[in-house]
Amino acid sequence: MEKIVLAKVGDRELTKEDMIAIMRNLPQQDAQNFSSFEGRKVLLDEMVAGELFYKRAVENGFDQEEKFIEIMAETKRAMLQRYAVQKSLDAITVEPSEVEAYYEAHKNNFSEGPKAKAKHILMTDEADILEVKNEIDTGMDFEEAARKYSTCPSKERGGDLGTFERGRMVPEFEDAAFTQEIGLVGDPVKTQFGYHLLLVEERVEASVKAFEEVENQVRQELIGRKQTEVYRSEIEALKEIYPVEINEDGLK
């Protein structure tokens, strides 16, 4: 790959690869701030500023000052601690048979509750919504009625609420959504928000997610459990090598 020099500070070249490496090590949300051209200009300015301060620090011997040496020692210690832990955990894997066995033993953890797909019309007055229901019963399209009469923001989508599980809607609305006949507009339902006309389009019974859907999730969960076990067991083993004394009174 051709080296693309973005800036030069003295004899130091700042390349596009340098910028990519910086962005790769940032949290995803922070990296997004630099995804645009303007964002990358800001990042390049920060890279140049950092290099300027670095050059001044070296020129003035800041790296030889006692305070800096202390900071570096503390930083090295913390980094070495993290590296030692990570080195122990990185090698941990799980066999496919372990993943499948865990799934079979904990299927309830991967269940999905019943779902309903529905549209609705919301109004504040019962008499008004009964008139709208009559219009629908005599031929008016439900989506057209929702756009014309509903006070819910979902009116822009023809009243479409999408698919939802039990527990997401207020009880009165939910009871109707999971009992009303599919494809027919039911009687108005009163909730704290007003009066609703529901058109339930589909219902899906409770089910367990297929192994293929959750395989990676299960694998990561098992790896996490093993890592915790290894971490704790290694601490106990290390305590046998390096005696540890705890003064809990000092915490008071």
Q: What is the reported pLDDT for 114? A: 92
Q: What total of structural domains would you count in the chain?
A: 3
- Assess whether 190 and 120 both reside in one domain: yes
CB contact at 8 A, 161 and 154: yes
> What does the pLDDT read at residue 28?
85
- What are the backbone dihedrals phi and psi of residue 232, each rounded to the nearest 5 degrees, phi first? -70, -40
Residue 214 has pLDDT above 80, yes or no: yes
CB 94 within 8 A of CB 222: yes
For residues 35 and 71, membership in a common domain is answered with no
Residues 83 and 125 placed together within one structural domain of the fold: no
245, exposed or middle or buried, with CB in 10 Å at 0-12, 13-18, 19+?
Answer: exposed
Same domain, 163 and 48: no
Q: How far apart are CA 138 and CA 146, in angstroms?
A: 15
Same domain, 123 and 147: yes
Is residue 128 located within the same domain as residue 5?
no
Output the pTM of the full model: 0.56
Interval 27-36: pLDDT, tens: 888 888 898 9
**120 and 103 fall within a common domain:** no
Which whole number is the average pLDDT over 216-230? 93
- Whether residues 41 and 5 share a domain: the answer is yes
Are 128 and 175 part of one and the same domain? yes
For residue range 128-164, what is the model confidence (pLDDT) as tens digits? Answer: 999 999 999 999 999 999 999 999 999 999 999 999 9
Q: Which domain holds residue 131?
A: 114-205
